[in-house]
Structure 1
């Protein structure tokens, strides 16, 4: 059985289809979740920052607390923000099968949506203001997601990350612990901070490799990161801290047979219609 995981942000505007600012993130998240549910028997949505959550397809949530008249999931309005965004993405993908909302993992779900945000101090728009530790931490996470490296996520200093506004750190830690000692393939299709908080969209796959939607490259980890990474040492290199962008993408992936340097800019994924 193929195991597919998708990592998506919990921005409320992700569920506002006409919002243009998060359109690239929304398109990438839709593609990742659409790919994940294809052939799934059950989908699990993880928010490790929540407490003792264990809901099924009857659970639902709303974004009214954020001024948005949007509901997702089942009739019981009991889900927090991250689970509600996961529910919205599943609804949007047309998923009508079994689903489970949880705050921890006891096994390796064959289909998992990991809802987590990055650092809140990566640029001048950030809620906590700019802190150079934010871009560095963001680059470390994005590098780990792109290379599908659970060990790199497991050693993340969760306490320090939370101090810098990375609310998704506990969720990533839960996912990494469940994914440890397994051979994953990963790709990142979105990494930006248009609202001052680091958002990413990534996919991991275990076992036999199936078809990804257009825009996913399974041959090598691909990322739209705004930083440089060489081997396991990741150094923040924001090209600019103005506006809503962190600068052009520079990614160096070192490994057999040779080091590959990729320079790219964020673009809307080329999705099939």
Structure 2
């Protein structure tokens, strides 16, 4: 049974060793992400993650290791607590899975299973994935849902993508939907607009919306961070079933 959900971004800048010259500027979003991850771990050490990767939809099992060496520093991570020599090392573990493992380790969770979806997944398909997750995780054992996705990289002059004046309104609407735990509003995000703005987290957010809609209970939300350092929109939010 899914007892809590947290929405986080997954940029490399969360890992201090990868941004040694900018740790102070990136500290607010890093702190919010770690606090949200610890909040998940307080409820249960067993996590299921949904994240976006353009390579294709697949599931990465907890018995997997990887490293941030492709991002400049060999920071090893694992998706579960495993003795040395146990598990599979994937030298091409995608960034969201690496961040999921890094968050797991720093929050003290036992394991995280990562379900990757493509950024092009349409809302109906996202609904099916969320519905399947609810069914798969039903039962007495508590599970926390970690939802990883970045928003538009088109905010202002520091944007890595071409600045787009629509990015501000788009991310404000996402922030409000996350704060209100408004699954309908998340599901109504226009995938074409999200794609134009480079908001690749859209499909993961809509899987979360489906989870909430399929769970049969109401949810309440809280946003811990919403900003655009370096021109990229990041949101950190916590959802849990309401009374």
Please, what TM-score do these two structures have when normalized by structure 2?
Answer: 0.78
Match of 2:62 in 1: 57
Partner SS state of residue 22, structure 1: helix
1:113-151 per-position Cα deviation (integer Å, ceiling 9, x unaligned): 111101111211111232111011111111100101111
Which of residues 227, 235, 239 in structure 2 aligns to 1:192?
227
Structure 1 contact 49–170 (Cα < 8 Å) conserved:
no
Distance, in Å, in 2 between the alignment partners of 1:156 and 1:49 is 19
Q: Which has the higher contact order (CA 8 A, sep 6+)?
A: 2
Distance, in Å, in 2 between the alignment partners of 1:92 and 1:70 is 13
Which of residues 65, 74, 80 in structure 1 aligns to 2:94?
80
1:3 aligns with 2:3: yes
Which of residues 70, 81, 91 in structure 1 aligns to 2:105?
91
1:137 aligns with 2:141: no
1:102 aligns with 2:107: no
Partner SS state of residue 156, structure 2: coil
Distance, in Å, in 2 between the alignment partners of 1:130 and 1:14 is 23
Partner SS state of residue 65, structure 2: strand
1:135-194 per-position Cα deviation (integer Å, ceiling 9, x unaligned): 111111111001011110101011221221111111112221222164111000111111
Q: How does 1:35-184 map to 2 (within 5 A)?
A: 35-50=39-54, 51-74=56-79, 75-77=88-90, 78-95=92-109, 97-103=110-116, 104-105=129-130, 106-108=132-134, 110-180=143-213, 182-184=217-219
How far does residue 88 in structure 1 lie from its aligned partner after superposition? 0.5
Structure 1 residues without counterparts, runs of 5 or longer: 209-273
Structure 2 contact 225–236 (Cα < 8 Å) conserved:
yes
How far does residue 64 in structure 1 lie from its aligned partner after superposition? 2.1
Task: Choose between structure 1 and 2: higher helix proportion.
Answer: 2
Please, what TM-score do these two structures have when normalized by structure 1?
Answer: 0.70
Structure 2 residues without counterparts, runs of 5 or longer: 80-87, 117-128, 138-142
Match of 1:29 in 2: 33
How far does residue 2 in structure 1 lie from its aligned partner after superposition? 6.9
Flag as ranges the 4+ runs of structure 1 deviating above 6 A: none
Distance, in Å, in 2 between the alignment partners of 1:73 and 1:188 is 28
How far does residue 207 in structure 1 lie from its aligned partner after superposition? 4.7
Q: What value does the CA root-mean-square deviation take over the aligned residues?
A: 2.0
Structure 1 contact 56–98 (Cα < 8 Å) conserved:
no
How far does residue 91 in structure 1 lie from its aligned partner after superposition? 0.7
1:78-100 per-position Cα deviation (integer Å, ceiling 9, x unaligned): 531112111111111122x2321
